[in-house]
Amino acid sequence: MSISATPRRIGLIGLGLMGRPMAMNLLKAGHALTVWNRTASRAQELVAAGAKLAKTPREAAAEAEFLLTMVSDPPALEEVLWGHEGKNDGALGGLRAGSIYIDSSTISPALVRKIAAACAERQVRFLDAPVTGGDWGAREGNLVFMIGGDEATLKEVEPILGVMAKKWFHLGPNGAGQTIKLAMNGILALQVGAMAEALALVIRAGLRGEQLIEVMQASMARSGVLDVKSPLMVKGDFKPSFPLRLMHKDLGLMLDLANQLGVALPATAAAREVYSYVKGEAKEDLDYSAVMRFWKK
Ligand SMILES: NC(=O)c1ccc[n+]([C@@H]2O[C@H](COP(=O)([O-])OP(=O)(O)OC[C@H]3O[C@@H](n4cnc5c(N)ncnc54)[C@H](OP(=O)(O)O)[C@@H]3O)[C@@H](O)[C@H]2O)c1
């Protein structure tokens, strides 16, 4: 779905595993980009490539026709948007009436609604737009966006999304994007957790993990995520691509939403316990496929 873009003034806040390559693709497409990151040194490569570095989230939003945020979790996003007591440094305070704000962090639908109300007060249009595709998809401009919000607003941002994504889905009003994203990550967490259990069984029985993977890839049990993650799980290579701490956060957000909606998710609740254990034991940042370590204890 790549669309050629007219240069626009874009602010981007959050230069982690995902935000940095997304920002680089926006720069490469010729947009005027202002970035802010809590750890300013992470902006070096982007500044060398032509991005302007803002001193505060407010400053990153102030000139922007479009503002994007890509931070870790709901508390991080609240801090960036509303700023610090008495400092007047939050991005919301900088956004101009008529601008469009797109949040791609994975957060709760409840926070989406709070942000939507704050944006409406300022005549700012807002889309929740979480992504899937991992850091690899962010580098290649191959992400998939899940959008909640007004369809006409989405039409306006499509040329910008086209720089970062191969596809996007309009899923309903604000909050719909995050709801689908959380449900999808629940499936990924369970798939990878199930693969880890099956590998533990096969290896303890004296067989090789590769044998299970080979058969699985020729069967109905095959899947994109298992094709990518299972060889790494057998090798014990858990370099973070989608960090376990973020998957753990998403399982918590999914269970909170289920609780609000009165839906029981017993398998998701059990999976979160396992992810919690591995997160608690880890000394370093690990990919979520390190859930495999549970059976090594
Ligand atoms: N990685 C993936 O494969 C993937 C895929 C789809 C969706 N996501 C979602 O995308 C979002 C970003 O993921 P990521 O992998 O880029 O995470 P990450 O590498 O951990 O980066 C997190 C970003 O949030 C910033 N941040 C954290 N706490 C903050 C605070 N209190 N105030 C201001 N900034 C704060 C970090 O700043 P510092 O640099 O200062 O720490 C960093 O820029 C998350 O919501 C994640 O769930 C990730």
Residues 143-160 have a mean pLDDT of: 98
**Ligand 1 centre and the CA of 14: distance in Å?**
6
10 Å CB burial of residue 205 (0-12, 13-18, 19+) is exposed
The whole-number pLDDT of residue 10 equals 98
SS3 for 116?
helix
Token pair in block for residue 35: 């970035």
Question: Is residue 47's pLDDT more than 70?
Answer: yes
All CATH 1.10.1040.10 domain ranges in the chain, comma separated? 180-296
Topology of the domain comprising 9-173: Rossmann fold (3.40.50)
Residues with CB under 6 A from ligand 1: 14-19, 37-39, 42, 70-72, 76, 79-80, 105-106, 131-132, 134-135, 241-242, 246
Cα distances from 9 to residues 79, 201, 202, 251, 280, in angstroms, run 23, 54, 54, 35, 42
Mean pLDDT of the chain: 96
10 Å CB burial of residue 7 (0-12, 13-18, 19+) is exposed
Identify whether the C-beta of residue 289 lies closer than 8 Å to the C-beta of residue 275.
no
User: pTM of whole model > 0.85?
Assistant: yes
pLDDT, tens only, 244-272: 999 999 999 999 999 999 999 999 999 99
**Ligand 1 centre and the CA of 221: distance in Å?**
31
Ligand 1: residue whose CA is nearest its atom 18: 16
Residue 107 Cα: closest atom of ligand 1: 45
Token pair in block for residue 231: 């060889």
Q: How confident is the model at residue 6 (pLDDT cuts 50, 70, 90)?
A: confident
Q: Does residue 181 have an active-site annotation?
A: yes
Ligand 1: residue whose CA is nearest its atom 15: 17
Check 52, 87, 155, 181 and give the catalytic one.
Answer: 181
180-296 maps to CATH 1.10.1040.10: yes
Q: How confident is the model at residue 297 (pLDDT cuts 50, 70, 90)?
A: low
pLDDT, tens only, 212-228: 999 999 999 999 999 99
Probe target for ligand 1 pocket from 45, 72, 181, with the most ligand atoms within 8 Å of CB: 72
**Ligand 1 centre and the CA of 150: distance in Å?**
25
The whole-number pLDDT of residue 1 equals 45
The whole-number pLDDT of residue 5 equals 60
Q: Cβ atoms within 10 A of the Cβ of 97, count? A: 8
Ligand 1: residue whose CA is nearest its atom 32: 76
Probe target for ligand 1 pocket from 58, 71, 102, with the most ligand atoms within 8 Å of CB: 71
pLDDT, tens only, 192-215: 999 999 999 999 999 999 999 999
**Segments of the chain assigned E as strands:** 9-13, 32-36, 52-53, 66-69, 100-103, 125-128, 131-132, 143-148, 165-172
**Ligand 1 centre and the CA of 109: distance in Å?**
18
CA dist., res. 156 & res. 152, Å (int): 7
Cα distances from 268 to residues 182, 194, 206, 287, 289, in angstroms, run 11, 12, 29, 18, 16
The length of the chain is 297
All CATH 3.40.50.720 domain ranges in the chain, comma separated? 9-173
**Ligand 1 centre and the CA of 75: distance in Å?**
11
SS3 for 3?
coil
Question: Is residue 148's pLDDT more than 50?
Answer: yes
Ligand 1: residue whose CA is nearest its atom 24: 71
